[in-house]
């Protein structure tokens, strides 16, 4: 299991990075990205600290830990510039908090993210076919989410991906120990969204390919 969307105490997660990495490893993860919630107020604080600890943990533990950020409830017009700044600060994975149906995310967030230099559009909710086509064109991965609430539209995200050729990744969006899942549960979540065995394997290969770009 490769989980490229998790949270630590540097935003609203419950665990310090070391414990998050340890618990993820015990669950069967071979790699995680720590992608705490960020906006213009805190990315310069969060990212350097996550970069430092990820380097230490990856060298001392049997799991790869990648520094990232989740740009969350950002005004759509400034997503692109902040994504560039996060790269400059050292984020290897840039996630944007998509238009999930269970939070009041600003309309236009999905579109702005897909036009920016980001890696993953997390829990994109009722993403449109036009937006999914843009994801395919620009190489932005759409997320199948294991997180309660956000997972309600997994089936729709899969439908749009099938229509357009957009690529998928599965992440937990973990905030607490109980949110982490292993490969068996990951497969069941994907199957529950309606994915075939072949689609599930392709999705896991997508996560591996994205990870490879970061290490």
Domain that holds residue 163: 2-214
What residues contact residue 13 under an 8 Å CB cut-off, 6+ apart? 6, 7, 20, 36, 174, 175, 176
With a cut of 90, say whether residue 15 has pLDDT above it: yes
- Indicate the pTM of the whole model: 0.97
With a cut of 90, say whether residue 186 has pLDDT above it: yes
Q: What CATH number should be reported for the domain holding residue 91?
A: 3.20.20.140
pLDDT, residue 167, reads 98
Query: Which has the closest alpha carbon to 146: 197, 98, 189, 94?
Result: 189
Contact 8, 51 (CB under 8 A): no
Q: How many domains does the chain have?
A: 1
pLDDT digits (tens, 9 = 90+) for 153-172: 999 999 999 999 999 999 99
Which residues lie across from 67 on neighbouring strands?
A: 34
Containing 51, the helix (H) or strand (E) segment is helix 43-60
Mean pLDDT, range 1-28, rounded to an integer: 98
**Interatomic CA distance for residues 152 and 112, integer angstroms:** 22
**Interatomic CA distance for residues 133 and 160, integer angstroms:** 8
pLDDT, residue 63, reads 98
**Interatomic CA distance for residues 215 and 211, integer angstroms:** 7
With a cut of 90, say whether residue 30 has pLDDT above it: yes
**Interatomic CA distance for residues 89 and 36, integer angstroms:** 14
Average pLDDT, the chain: 98
pLDDT digits (tens, 9 = 90+) for 116-161: 999 999 999 999 999 999 999 999 999 999 999 999 999 999 999 9
Containing 153, the helix (H) or strand (E) segment is none
Where residue 215 falls among pLDDT bands split at 50, 70, 90? confident
Where residue 197 falls among pLDDT bands split at 50, 70, 90? very high
With a cut of 90, say whether residue 75 has pLDDT above it: yes
pLDDT, residue 98, reads 98
């Amino acid at each position: 299991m490769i989980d490229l969307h998790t949270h630590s105490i540097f935003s609203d997660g419950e665990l310090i990075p070391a414990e998050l990495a340890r618990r993820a490893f015990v669950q069967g993860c071979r790699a995680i990205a720590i992608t705490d919630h960020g906006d213009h107020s805190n990315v310069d604080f969060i990212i350097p600290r996550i970069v430092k600890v990820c380097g230490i943990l990856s060298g001392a533990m049997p799991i790869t830990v990648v520094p990232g950020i989740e740009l969350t409830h950002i005004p759509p017009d400034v997503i692109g510039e902040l994504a560039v700044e996060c790269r400059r600060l050292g984020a290897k994975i840039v996630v944007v908090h998509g238009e999930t149906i269970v939070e009041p995310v600003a309309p236009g967030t999905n579109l702005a993210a897909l036009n920016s230099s980001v890696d993953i559009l997390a829990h994109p909710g009722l993403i449109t076919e036009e937006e999914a086509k843009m994801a395919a064109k620009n190489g932005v991965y759409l997320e199948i989410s294991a997180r309660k609430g956000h997972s309600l539209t997994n089936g729709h995200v899969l439908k749009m991906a099938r229509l357009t050729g957009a690529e998928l990744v599965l992440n937990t969006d973990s905030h607490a120990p109980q949110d982490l899942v292993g490969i068996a549960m990951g497969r069941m979540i994907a199957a529950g969204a309606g994915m075939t065995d072949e689609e599930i394997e392709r999705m896991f290969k997508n996560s591996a390919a994205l990870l490879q770009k970061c290490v």
